[in-house]
Structure formats: structure tokens, C-alpha cells
């Protein structure tokens, strides 16, 4: 069955029919399509296009289809073009053409598909945000498991300065909470009701659009019918938010692939999220994290793909836009499953605090603390930087670590050093000079952790 055809003498070629069909993927939208049609039927009742009896029949049939659509076989033997056609086809079989054909009054598949995707995506965004709060909760728990542990903070993948373990995890807490907000922003743009726009010029029937919006839980209605037919910005907004979430997941995955490997070795992952090698018996590979990192690339591709699909489209609807759906569904799948996977990885992750501390102490990660101390004593910072640089050079040449210096040798090395500055050879001492808000000092971090807990409770609502 087709929703068009009167104007044609010949039917579509078999190849075009196959080429243009979208049912095998847009059937994902079946439930929202049915809900949209129910709301539309109520709108048609109010303006007298449907009688009360007709409306009741339509709605009960559409409701029944909602139940059936989740069962296997609902789409079997269906040669229809898309999900919208299947619904009308089945309505015709059950109610007869005279009634079924009325449901599409004042509606186009252009505003219908916009409605369907908005309804569907709104729910997916809510799931994604819910999963993100789980991940944020696990990050906080992992921080609380080692509240005082010191790890090397890196720049250029070189040991840079000591930081507290919770401080490191809170950096990801910030990223993922921004993602949670960003998905919320995208949701606001998704949550606008397009029905009533018709094909492009607005419906010819005075359906109460606000009532339809209220019925379907939308916050407002779209303002311009041409914009509706042409617009996929709300998908791009969502995909942008999804992309940044995947970017953050991928960077955390990359960190932990490194930190849990032999070369870093100060973190570990649980057996449940690692896999072995078919040949090398000793291997324990971080495949869960590698898959997250890999899926990020796939999700970025979908976003770029949609931008390119949209960039040259003349106003308003063009069939190119059907190509938005498979990548969107895939982005949602990859996003939700990656957040879920990351949450389990965080739950199983362990820190090896002694090895992390040893990595700090074997390097000159305290160098900045010493330079800061000289600067606090009045030496201009650049001069302090140079003195400590010379100290590090001397140490490297002599094969000495920071801990092998003492108050005596330090003051002997340069008169600007005072005996009390030797305390900073212990990384913990330097940490407490960084209690500035946002810094890695123990009090600052304890405060940030407590605040993160409160923020998370607010996010969970």
C-alpha cells in the first residue's frame, strides 16, 4: 500500500521501491507514531472531522496496535514503504478505508516524522541522562574509596604535578555533568510540537495545536511550518551532546587503558570488564574501554554525516532527510551502551596507591612546589623556576630523586632555599599549598567532593 499514487500511471520500479523503503529501520518509531496519531485523532474530533464514534474506534484500534507492535511478527509480510504507511494500512484492514483514510487529514509525513522523532528522542535523552547520573555516582564512590591517594598528574603524558586521586576523578565528574546539562539543553529543543505544520505550508484544518502539545507532553509548539519541514537542528543538537559525551568517555577510556597497563601500572580493572587472548595466556586486555574509544569514532561519524546531509538542502523537506534516522538510532544505541559500560568499569576499577605515589616520587613532580616556595620567599618566579630547573638537572645527572635531597643538601645547593622548604620534597606538603578553589589541595578537594555529591542529588531530582 502507498499513501500516494492517484497521480501516477505506473507504479514504482522494484528497485526504487527497495531503495526508498525505510520500514526496516523506522519501525523503531512505531509506538511514538501510534501515540502521535492518537493525539492527532483527538485534535480532529474537536474540529468535527471525526465524529465521537469514529474517534473512539480509531483510538481503540491504535491503542490495540501499540500492544501488538511490541510482539514479534507485527511487521512480518509488510511491504509498506515506512512506519507511517504500515499504521494506516493496518487501520484500513481493521476499520475500512472510509474511516482509516480520515486520520491523515491536515497532516503530512513531514510534520509526522518530525513529531515521531521528537517523541522518541525525548525518551532516549531521558534514559541517557539517567545513565549519566549512575556513572557520576560511581565516579564519586571510586573517589571516596581512596580519598587521600596521590597520583601523578600528567601533561604531554609526562609526570607533571602530584594530584589527589579524587581531584582527578572530579575532572571527569565535571565533564559528565556538563554532558548531562547539554543533553538537557538538547531536550528543550527537541521538546517542541511540530504537528499542524502540514507538508510545509501549515495544516488547512484549525486543529488546536496547543491541546495536541499538552496531550503529548510537549512544552510548546513550533512557530513556522516551513522551518519544521526543513529542520533537523534538534537532531544535531542532540548528536552534538552525544558526541561530547562519547569524547569524554573515550578520553577516560584512553587514560585507564594507559594507567592499567604495565608501563603505568598504578590502576587495575576487574576481571568482569577485561578479556583474555586466544593465544597469549598471560593477557588481560581492556577491551571494554577500547570498545568505548572505538564507538566514539563511529558516533562522531554520524554527526558529521548528518551535517553534510543537511548542508546543501534547499527549503524545505527533501528525501535526503530520511538518511538521518539510521545514524541517529545508532548514536543513541552506542551512547547509552557506552555510558552503561563505563559505569560498570568504574565500579570494578581499583587504584594501587603505593605504585601511584612511587611514580610521583621517582619523578620531579614536586619541582613546581619548590619553585612556588622560592617565589613566596620573594624571588621572582622566573628566577625560582631557573634555580629549581638547575636542581633537577643536577639530580638527573647524579641519578637522584627529589626524596634523596635533604634540608642540608638543598640549602647548600642554592642560598635561596631555606631548610623548611625541604618539606616540599614530600609531595603531600605541596598539595596543601593548593587549597585554592578548584585546586588539588586536600581541603579544596574535600569541599569539591561534598559539593559534587549535592549536585548529583539535585540531578537525580
**Three-state DSSP class for residue 448:** helix
Cell numbers found for residue 204: 488547512
> Is residue 234 a contact residue for ligand ARG (CB under 6 A)?
no
Distance CA 304, CA 96 (A): 44
Q: Check 220, 275, 277, 406 and give the catalytic one.
A: 277
Residues 269 and 260 sit within 8 Å (Cβ to Cβ): yes
Residues 196/111, Cβ–Cβ less than 8 Å = yes
Interaction with ligand ARG in 309-368: which residues (CB under 6 A)?
317, 319, 321-322, 325
How many other CB atoms are found less than 10 A from the CB of residue 116? 26
Nearer CB in complex with ligand ARG: 22/61: 22
What residue spans of 317-425 are helical by DSSP H? 325-348, 353-361, 367-376, 381-398, 407-413
Binders of ligand ARG: how many residues, by CB under 6 A? 11
Least Å from the CB of residue 226 to ligand ARG:
14
Which stretches within 349-380 are classed as H helix? Answer: 353-361, 367-376
Cα separation values, 179 from 48, 182, 252, 336, 425, Å: 45, 5, 14, 13, 38
| Cα gap 249→331, rounded to integer Å | 14
Write out the binding residues for ligand ARG, residues 36-95 only, by CB under 6 A. Answer: 82
Binding span for ligand ARG by CB under 6 A among 58-66, 92-100, 107-115, 206-214: 107-115
Q: Which residue number, 322 or 363, has a Cβ lying nearer to ligand ARG?
A: 322
| Strands (E) located in 228-377 | 267-268, 350-351
Q: Residue 36 or 427: which CB sits closer to ligand ARG? A: 36
Q: Which is nearer to ligand ARG, 109 or 248 (CB)?
A: 109
Stretch touching ligand ARG by CB under 6 A, among 108-116, 273-281, 286-294, 360-368:
108-116
The answer to whether 152 and 168 have CB atoms below 8 angstroms apart is: no
Q: Smallest distance from the beta carbon of 319 to ligand ARG, in angstroms?
A: 6
Beta-bridge partner residues of 152: 162
Shortest Cβ distance from residue 191 to ligand ARG (Å)? Answer: 20
Q: At closest approach, how far in Å is the CB of 117 from ligand ARG? A: 8
CB of 313 to ligand ARG, least distance (A): 12
Q: Which residue, 391, 447, 393, 401, is CA-closest to 426?
A: 401
Q: Which is nearer to ligand ARG, 310 or 341 (CB)?
A: 310
Residue 115 or 132 having the CB closest to ligand ARG:
115
**Residue found under cell 606538603:** 429
Number of H helices, E strands in the chain: 19, 6
List 40, 89, 107, 109, residue binding ligand ARG (CB under 6 A): 109
Query: Residue 336 and residue 254: Cα distance in Å, rounded?
Result: 19
Active-site annotation holder among 13, 70, 156, 278: 156
Cβ closer to ligand ARG: 163 or 310?
Answer: 310
Rounded to whole angstroms, the Cα distance separating 92 from 99 reads: 8
- In terms of CB distance, is 317 or 417 closer to ligand ARG? 317
User: What binding mask, one character per residue, do residues 111-130 give for ligand ARG by CB under 6 A, x or -?
Assistant: --x-----------------
Residue tagged 541517529 (cell numbers): 328
* Shortest separation between residue 37's beta carbon and ligand ARG, angstroms: 14
Closest approach, Cβ 36 to ligand ARG, in A, equals: 13
Please state the φ and ψ torsions of residue 164, each to the nearest 5 degrees: -75, 140
- Among 305, 179, 293, 298, residue whose Cα is nearest residue 236: 305
Q: Pick the binder of ligand ARG from 37, 85, 110, 225 (CB under 6 A).
A: 110
Question: Which cell numbers in the block locate residue 237?
Answer: 543538537
Query: Residue 65 to residues 58, 74, 95, 167, 404: CA-CA distances in angstroms?
Result: 11, 9, 13, 52, 76
Instruction: Look up 277 and say whether it is catalytic.
Output: yes
CB of 314 to ligand ARG, least distance (A): 14
Contact 180, 129 (CB under 8 A): yes
Task: Write out the catalytic residue numbers.
Answer: 156, 277
The binding site for ligand ARG (CB under 6 A) comprises 22, 26, 82, 109-110, 113, 317, 319, 321-322, 325
Amino acid at each position: 500500500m502507498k499513501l500516494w499514487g492517484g497521480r501516477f500511471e505506473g507504479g514504482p520500479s522494484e528497485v526504487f521501491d527497495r531503495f526508498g523503503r525505510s520500514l526496516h529501520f523506522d519501525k523503531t518509531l512505531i509506538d511514538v507514531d501510534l501515540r502521535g496519531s492518537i493525539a492527532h485523532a483527538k485534535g480532529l474530533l474537536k474540529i468535527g472531522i471525526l465524529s465521537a464514534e469514529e474517534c473512539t474506534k480509531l483510538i481503540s484500534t491504535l491503542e490495540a496496535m501499540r500492544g501488538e507492535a511490541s510482539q514479534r511478527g507485527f511487521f512480518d509480510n509488510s511491504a509498506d514503504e515506512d512506519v507511517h504507511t504500515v499504521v494506516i494500512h493496518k487501520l484500513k484492514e481493521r476499520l475500512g478505508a472510509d474511516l482509516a483514510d480520515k486520520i491523515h487529514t491536515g497532516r503530512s509525513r513531514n510534520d509526522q516524522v518530525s513529531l515521531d522523532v521528537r517523541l522518541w528522542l525525548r525518551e532516549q535523552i531521558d534514559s541517557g541522562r539517567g545513565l549519566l547520573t549512575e556513572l557520576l555516582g560511581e565516579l564519586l564512590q571510586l573517589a571516596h574509596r581512596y580519598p587521600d591517594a596521590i597520583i601523578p598528574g600528567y601533561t604531554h603524558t609526562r609526570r607533571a604535578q602530584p594530584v589527589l586521586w579524587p581531584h582527578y576523578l572530579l575532572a571527569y565528574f565535571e565533564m559528565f555533568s556538563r554532558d548531562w546539562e547539554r543533553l538537557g539543553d538538547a531536550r528543550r529543543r527537541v521538546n517542541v510540537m511540530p504537528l499542524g505544520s502540514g507538508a510545509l505550508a501549515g495544516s488547512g484544518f484549525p486543529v488546536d495545536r496547543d491541546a495536541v502539545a499538552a496531550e503529548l507532553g510537549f512544552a510548546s509548539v513550533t512557530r513556522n511550518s516551513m522551518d519544521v519541514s526543513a529542520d533537523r537542528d534538534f537532531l544535531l543538537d542532540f548528536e552534538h551532546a552525544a558526541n561530547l559525551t562519547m569524547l569524554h568517555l573515550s578520553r577516560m577510556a584512553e587514560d585507564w587503558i594507559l594507567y592499567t597497563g604495565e608501563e603505568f601500572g598504578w590502576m587495575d580493572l576487574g576481571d568482569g570488564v577485561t578479556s583474555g587472548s586466544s593465544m597469549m595466556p598471560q593477557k588481560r586486555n581492556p577491551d571494554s574501554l577500547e570498545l568505548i574509544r572505538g564507538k566514539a569514532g563511529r558516533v562522531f561519524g554520524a554527526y558529521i554525516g548528518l551535517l553534510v546531509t543537511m548542508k546543501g538542502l534547499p527549503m524545505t523537506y527533501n528525501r535526503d532527510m530520511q538518511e538521518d534516522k539510521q545514524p541517529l538510532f545508532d548514536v543513541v544505541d552506542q551512547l547509552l551502551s557506552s555510558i552503561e559500560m563505563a559505569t560498570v568499569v568504574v565500579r570494578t576499577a581499583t587504584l594501587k596507591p603505593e605504585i601511584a605515589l612511587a611514580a610521583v616520587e621517582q619523578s620531579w613532580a614536586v619541582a613546581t612546589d619548590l619553585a612556588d616556595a622560592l617565589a613566596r620567599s620573594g624571588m621572582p618566579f622566573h628566577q625560582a623556576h631557573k634555580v629549581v630547573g638547575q636542581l633537577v638537572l643536577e639530580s638527573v645527572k647524579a641519578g637522584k630523586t627529589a626524596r634523596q635531597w635533604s634540608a642540608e643538601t638543598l640549602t647548600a645547593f642554592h642560598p635561596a632555599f631555606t631548610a623548611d622548604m625541604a618539606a616540599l620534597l614530600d609531595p603531600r606538603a605541596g598539595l596543601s599549598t593548593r587549597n585554592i578553589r578548584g585546586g588539588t589541595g586536600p581541603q579544596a578537594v574535600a569541599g569539591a567532593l561534598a559539593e559534587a555529591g549535592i549536585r548529583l542529588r539535585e540531578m537525580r531530582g
